[in-house]
Amino acid sequence: MLTYSLDKKGSKPIYEFLYECIKNDILCGNLTAGEKLPSKRSFADNLGISVITVENTYSQLVAEGFIYSLPQKGFFVADIKNTAMYKKNSLAEKYVAPKTSGHKKYDVNFASNQTDKKSFPFSIWARLMREVLTQRQNDLMKNPPAGGIPELREAIAVHLKEFRGMKVSPQQIIIGAGTEYLYGLLIQLLGFDKHYGVENPGYNKIAKVYESHNVKCNFINMDKSGVRIDELEKTSTDIIHICPSHHFPTGIVMPVSRRYELLGWASSSEFRYIIEDDYDSEFRFSGRPIPTLQSIDVSGKVIYMNTFTKTLTSTIRISYMVLPGNLVSLFHKKLGFYSCTVPTFEQFTLAAFIRGGYFEKHINRMRKLYLTKRNLIINALQNNNYADKTEILEEDSGLHFLMRLHSDICNENLLERLENNGIKIMPLSAYYKNPPDEAERYFVINYTSVEQEKIVSAIERIFECI
Amino acid sequence: MLTYSLDKKGSKPIYEFLYECIKNDILCGNLTAGEKLPSKRSFADNLGISVITVENTYSQLVAEGFIYSLPQKGFFVADIKNTAMYKKNSLAEKYVAPKTSGHKKYDVNFASNQTDKKSFPFSIWARLMREVLTQRQNDLMKNPPAGGIPELREAIAVHLKEFRGMKVSPQQIIIGAGTEYLYGLLIQLLGFDKHYGVENPGYNKIAKVYESHNVKCNFINMDKSGVRIDELEKTSTDIIHICPSHHFPTGIVMPVSRRYELLGWASSSEFRYIIEDDYDSEFRFSGRPIPTLQSIDVSGKVIYMNTFTKTLTSTIRISYMVLPGNLVSLFHKKLGFYSCTVPTFEQFTLAAFIRGGYFEKHINRMRKLYLTKRNLIINALQNNNYADKTEILEEDSGLHFLMRLHSDICNENLLERLENNGIKIMPLSAYYKNPPDEAERYFVINYTSVEQEKIVSAIERIFECI
| The pLDDT value given to residue B81 | 60
| The pLDDT value given to residue B90 | 35
Give the residue among A184, A223, A230 at the shortest CA–CA distance from A338.
A184
Q: Smallest CA–CA separation between B426 and chain A, in Å?
A: 16
Q: Which of A145, A328, A343 sits opposite B62 (nearest CB)?
A: A328
Q: List the single residue in A with minimal CA-CA distance to B116.
A: A141
Q: What is the pLDDT of residues A34-56, one digit of tens each?
A: 888 999 998 998 888 888 889 88
Q: What is the pLDDT along chain A (466 residues), one digit of tens a residue?
A: 788 888 888 777 888 889 888 988 887 778 888 888 999 998 998 888 888 889 888 888 887 778 888 777 889 888 775 443 333 333 333 333 334 334 456 789 999 888 888 899 999 999 999 999 999 999 999 999 999 999 999 999 999 999 899 999 999 999 999 999 999 999 999 999 999 999 999 999 999 999 999 999 999 999 999 999 999 999 999 999 999 999 999 999 999 999 999 999 999 999 999 999 999 888 888 777 788 999 999 999 999 999 999 999 999 999 999 999 999 999 999 999 999 999 999 999 999 999 999 999 999 999 999 999 999 999 988 887 888 888 998 877 788 999 999 988 888 889 999 999 999 999 999 999 999 999 999 999 999 889 888 998 899 899 888 8
Q: What is the pLDDT of residues B144-197, one digit of tens each?
A: 999 999 999 999 999 999 999 999 999 999 999 999 999 999 999 999 999 999
CB B77 within 8 A of CB B31: yes
Distance CA B232, CA B234 (A): 5
Provide, as residue numbers in chain A, all residues whose Cβ is less than 8 Å from the Cβ of B146: 98-100
Residue ranges, comma separated, of all CATH 3.90.1150.10 domains in chain A are: 108-112+362-465
- φ/ψ (deg, to 5) at B306: -150, 175
Beta-bridge partner residues of B175: B320
Q: Report in angstroms the alpha-carbon separations of A144 from A338, A342, B410.
A: 10, 10, 34
Q: Please check whether residue B226 touches A, CB under 8 A.
A: no
CB–CB contact B329 A142 (8 Å): no
Stretches where chain B sits below pLDDT 70 are 81-105
DSSP string, A385-426: TTGGGEEEE--SBSSEEEEEE--SS-HHHHHHHHHHTTEE-E
Q: Please check whether residue A206 touches B, CB under 8 A.
A: no
Q: Distance between alpha carbon B456 and the CA centroid of its chain, in Å?
A: 25
Q: What is the pLDDT of residues B330-381, one digit of tens each?
A: 999 999 999 999 999 999 999 999 999 999 999 999 999 999 999 999 998 8
| The pLDDT value given to residue B29 | 75
CB–CB contact A126 B130 (8 Å): yes
- The CATH class of A108-112+362-465 is alpha beta
Contacts of A457 (CB under 8 A, 6+ apart): none
A283-308 per-residue burial string, b: 16 or more CB within 10 A, e: under 16: bbeeeebbebbbbebeebbbbbbbbb
CB B63 within 8 A of CB A328: yes
Pairing of strands A239-242, A196-200: parallel
CB–CB contact B144 A114 (8 Å): no
∠ CA(B292), CA(B293), CA(B294), 5° rounding? 85
pTM of the entire predicted model: 0.80
Residue ranges, comma separated, of all CATH 3.40.640.10 domains in chain A are: 122-356
Distance CA A344, CA B315 (A): 6
Q: What is the pLDDT of residues A405-443, one digit of tens each?
A: 998 888 888 999 999 999 999 999 999 999 999 999 999
Q: Please check whether residue A72 touches B, CB under 8 A.
A: no
| The pLDDT value given to residue B7 | 82
| The pLDDT value given to residue A289 | 75
Q: What is the largest CA-CA distance in chain B?
A: 73
CB–CB contact B129 A129 (8 Å): yes
Please give the ipTM for the structure prediction.
0.79
CB–CB contact B341 A142 (8 Å): no
Provide, as residue numbers in chain A, all residues whose Cβ is less than 8 Å from the Cβ of B338: 180
Give the residue among A405, A395, A392 at the shortest CA–CA distance from A225.
A395
Q: What is the pLDDT of residues B269-290, one digit of tens each?
A: 999 999 999 998 888 887 777 8
Give the best residue of A133, A141, A152, A172 to mutate against chain B (max B CB count within 10 A): A141
Pairing of strands A390-393, A400-405: antiparallel
Interface of B with A in 106-145 (CB under 8 A): 114-115, 117, 120, 122, 125-126, 129-130, 133-134, 137-138, 140-145
CB–CB contact B84 A181 (8 Å): no
DSSP class of residue A314 equals T
CB–CB contact B169 A55 (8 Å): yes
CB–CB contact B145 A115 (8 Å): no
Size of interface A-B (CB pairs under 8 A): 221
Provide, as residue numbers in chain B, all residues whose Cβ is less than 8 Å from the Cβ of A74: none
Provide, as residue numbers in chain B, all residues whose Cβ is less than 8 Å from the Cβ of A208: 337
Contacts of A411 (CB under 8 A, 6+ apart): A91, A427, A429, A440, A441
Q: Please check whether residue B315 touches A, CB under 8 A.
A: yes
Q: Give the start-end residues of each E strand in B34-118.
A: 67-70, 74-77, 108-109
Q: List the single residue in A with minimal CA-CA distance to B205.
A: A337
| The pLDDT value given to residue B102 | 41
Architecture category of domain A122-356 in CATH: 3-Layer(aba) Sandwich (3.40)
CB A207 within 8 A of CB A216: no
Q: Which of B178, B192, B335 sits opposite A341 (nearest CB)?
A: B178
Q: Please check whether residue A95 touches B, CB under 8 A.
A: no
Provide, as residue numbers in chain A, all residues whose Cβ is less than 8 Å from the Cβ of B313: 140-141
| The pLDDT value given to residue A104 | 58
Instruction: Say which amino acid occupies A93.
Output: E
Candidates 2.120.10.30, 3.65.10.10, 1.10.10.10, 1.10.3720.10; correct CATH number of A6-94?
Answer: 1.10.10.10
Q: Please check whether residue A344 touches B, CB under 8 A.
A: yes
Instruction: Say which amino acid occupies B294.
Output: Q
Q: Which of B84, B147, B335 sits opposite A212 (nearest CB)?
A: B335
Provide, as residue numbers in chain B, all residues whose Cβ is less than 8 Å from the Cβ of A337: 96, 204-205, 208
Residue ranges, comma separated, of all CATH 1.10.10.10 domains in chain B are: 6-94
First to last CA, chain B: 45
